[in-house]
């Protein structure tokens, strides 16, 4: 495989001289990228974006890709969908006023629509999913009077301090490897249980100090790990029994449908957090509160929600983000469009199963999103999925795909469908995947 990877990297360098030189010239960017994650590129340097529309991205060297990365979900509505472009132009250019610290009527529409989709009656806006999670956690602590947050091992909820904890090989909680400048040992602020392990969850909640369980209904950031039958019901039962709030982070699982997994699987969380896709490419985040939670917060008149108490942000709820979110939800990621995306996601998952049939790998799907993992049977927990990681194999598959016009998320092997993705796009991806696997078999 190393030989194949070298061959693909050489081809990548040959195909992308302008991206390579733009990267080399970005001397005053830390890590030569505007954000450190962009340095993670299987080819050795990132492709530079020239333009993007719908399910297509074109790089600086003039190559156009079928984009199955979609900005790691930020562009799940497709790149620059026309209704969002129009709404942004109207707000920013025609009417004027991107950020005035004043509400617009679009915001009430967005709140009502998020309520229709997710069922929670009270919404507040942020600029990122990370912040939505941070603020939800603070509110949960405030009203429960409890100090800790429980997360699943190998979860991802943004750069949320409390979430950087895993179940170590010996079964005890450990600070997640690579945790940058943790303010305190994460074990002080957090508890952790493996996903699909209600027994451990029950043990951890027994301590009576957990304000909230913050979780994705299905893990999507360590491959996709799906819930076993009865697991999510058990989580709800246990959290209720222990007076712990349940926060569903739907930032990625929004791919399950118009109301994410919360609606698709009839879940009943106390708080939902979301970000990325709902802005159609413009930064936005949001959290929704149950009636009970919102009343408990309101009853706490000692909490400073108006200024510097620790929740909210200057540009959160700004008119531009809100206009983009309204346009995305009203015209782009509609119920109908998302039903079509899920149908195509199923086609993608089934095709992927066939393409990798000869490998000891597995495929998991959450609506418009499908992913293969280097383990079969499919991992049941974050820990098992972590153990199935193979960075060199990831790199090979990613560069192989990029060299043949397919863009995948730089992290693991996730492929996502947007409203403009076609069956032909999926077929093209599957053909490339099959070829990559065949070469691997021949050489391996």
The rounded distance, in Å, linking the Cα atoms of 288 and 159 is: 20
Bond preceding residue 377 cis, omega within 30 of 0: yes
Cβ at position 258, least distance to ligand PMP in Å: 18
Cβ at position 216, least distance to ligand PMP in Å: 5
189 vs 251, which CB is nearer to ligand PMP?
251
Cβ at position 282, least distance to ligand PMP in Å: 12
Query: Under a CB-based contact definition with an 8 Å cutoff, are residues 264 and 366 in contact?
Result: no
Cβ at position 252, least distance to ligand PMP in Å: 4
| Strand 414-416 to 369-373 pairing | antiparallel
Cβ at position 158, least distance to ligand PMP in Å: 3
Judged by CB under 6 A, the chain residues 289 through 328 that form the site for ligand PMP are none
Tokens, residue 242:
């222990």
Cα Rg for the chain, rounded, in angstroms?
Answer: 22
| Strand 148-152 to 190-193 pairing | parallel
The rounded distance, in Å, linking the Cα atoms of 324 and 332 is: 11
Judged by CB under 6 A, the chain residues 213 through 272 that form the site for ligand PMP are 216, 221, 249, 251-252
Give the containing element (helix H, strand E) for 201.
Answer: helix 198-205
The rounded distance, in Å, linking the Cα atoms of 8 and 399 is: 6
213 vs 430, which CB is nearer to ligand PMP?
213
Residue 176 phi/psi, 5-degree rounding, is -65, 135
* Contacting residue, 275, 317, 410, 419, with ligand PMP by CB under 6 A: 275
Judged by CB under 6 A, the chain residues 125 through 184 that form the site for ligand PMP are 128-130, 156-158
Residue where the block lists tokens 């066939």 = 354
Q: For residue 58, what are the CA distances in angstroms to 19, 65, 126?
A: 12, 6, 30
Q: Considering only the stretches 50-58, 122-130, 336-344, 389-397, report the one whose residues sit in contact with ligand PMP under the rule CB under 6 A.
A: 122-130
Judged by CB under 6 A, the chain residues 20 through 49 that form the site for ligand PMP are none
Cβ at position 97, least distance to ligand PMP in Å: 24
135 vs 372, which CB is nearer to ligand PMP?
135
* DSSP symbol at 81: -
153 vs 221, which CB is nearer to ligand PMP?
221
351 vs 383, which CB is nearer to ligand PMP?
383
167 vs 215, which CB is nearer to ligand PMP?
215
Cβ at position 94, least distance to ligand PMP in Å: 28
Cβ at position 192, least distance to ligand PMP in Å: 16
Query: Mask 188-217, x = binds ligand PMP (CB under 6 A)?
Result: ----------------------------x-
Candidates 174, 156, 196, 157; CA nearest to 165 is: 174
Query: Under a CB-based contact definition with an 8 Å cutoff, are residues 285 and 73 in contact?
Result: no
Query: What per-residue string of b and e applies to 67-90 under the rule 16 or more CB within 10 Å gives b?
Result: bbbbbbbbbbbbbebebbeebbee
Q: For residue 285, what are the CA distances in angstroms to 50, 288, 318, 386, 435?
A: 26, 10, 11, 28, 39
Cβ at position 72, least distance to ligand PMP in Å: 6
20 vs 70, which CB is nearer to ligand PMP?
70
Query: Under a CB-based contact definition with an 8 Å cutoff, are residues 9 and 369 in contact?
Result: no
76 vs 129, which CB is nearer to ligand PMP?
129
Residues in the interface with ligand PMP (CB under 6 A) total 14
81 vs 275, which CB is nearer to ligand PMP?
275
Candidates 216, 299, 311, 302; CA nearest to 265 is: 216
Q: Considering only the stretches 123-131, 134-142, 424-432, 433-441, report the one whose residues sit in contact with ligand PMP under the rule CB under 6 A.
A: 123-131
Cβ at position 18, least distance to ligand PMP in Å: 28
41 vs 152, which CB is nearer to ligand PMP?
152
Q: Is 79 in the site for ligand PMP (CB under 6 A)?
A: no
- Contacting residues toward ligand PMP, per CB under 6 A: 72, 128-130, 156-158, 216, 221, 249, 251-252, 275-276
């Amino acid at each position: 495989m190393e030989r194949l990877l070298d061959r693909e990297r050489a081809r990548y360098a040959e195909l992308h001289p302008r991206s390579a030189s733009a990267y080399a010239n970005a001397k005053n960017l830390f890590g030569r990228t505007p954000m450190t994650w962009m340095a993670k590129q299987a080819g050795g340097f990132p492709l530079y974006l020239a333009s993007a529309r719908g399910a297509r991205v074109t790089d600086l060297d003039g190559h156009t890709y079928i984009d199955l990365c979609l900005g790691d979900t930020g562009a799940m509505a497709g790149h620059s969908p026309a209704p969002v472009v129009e709404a942004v132009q109207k707000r920013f250019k025609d009417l004027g006023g991107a950020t005035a610290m004043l509400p617009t009527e679009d915001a009430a529409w967005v709140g009502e629509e998020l309520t229709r989709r997710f069922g929670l009656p009270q919404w507040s806006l942020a600029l990122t999913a990370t912040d939505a999670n941070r603020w939800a956690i603070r509110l949960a602590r405030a009203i429960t009077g409890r100090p800790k947050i429980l997360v699943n091992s190998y979860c991802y909820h943004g750069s949320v301090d409390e979430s950087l904890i895993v179940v170590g090989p010996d079964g005890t909680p450990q600070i997640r490897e690579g945790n940058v400048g943790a303010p305190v040992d994460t074990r002080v602020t957090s508890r952790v249980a493996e996903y699909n392990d209600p027994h451990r969850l029950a043990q951890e909640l027994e301590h009576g100090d957990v304000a909230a369980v913050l979780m994705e209904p299905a893990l999507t950031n360590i491959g996709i790990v799906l819930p076993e039958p009865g697991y999510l019901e058990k989580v709800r039962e246990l959290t209720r029994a222990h007076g712990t709030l349940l926060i569903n982070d739907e930032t990625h699982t929004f791919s399950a449908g118009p109301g994410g997994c919360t609606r698709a699987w009839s879940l009943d969380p106390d708080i939902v957090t979301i970000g990325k896709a709902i802005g159609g490419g413009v930064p936005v985040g949001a959290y929704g509160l149950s009636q009970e939670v919102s009343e408990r917060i309101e009853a706490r008149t000692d909490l400073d929600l108006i200024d510097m108490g620790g929740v909210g942000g200057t540009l959160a709820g700004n008119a531009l983000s809100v206009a983009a979110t309204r346009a995305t939800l009203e015209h782009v990621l509609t119920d109908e469009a998302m039903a079509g995306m899920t149908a195509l996601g199923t086609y993608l998952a089934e095709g992927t199963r066939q393409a990798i049939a000869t490998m000891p790998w597995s495929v998991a799907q959450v609506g418009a999103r499908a992913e293969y993992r280097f383990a079969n049977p499919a991992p049941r927990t974050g820990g098992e999925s972590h153990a199935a990681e193979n960075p060199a194999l990831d790199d090979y598959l990613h560069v192989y795909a990029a060299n043949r016009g397919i863009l995948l998320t730089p992290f693991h092997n996730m492929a996502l469908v947007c409203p403009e993705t076609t069956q032909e796009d999926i077929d093209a991806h599957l053909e490339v995947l099959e070829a990559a696997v065949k070469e691997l078999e021949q050489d391996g």
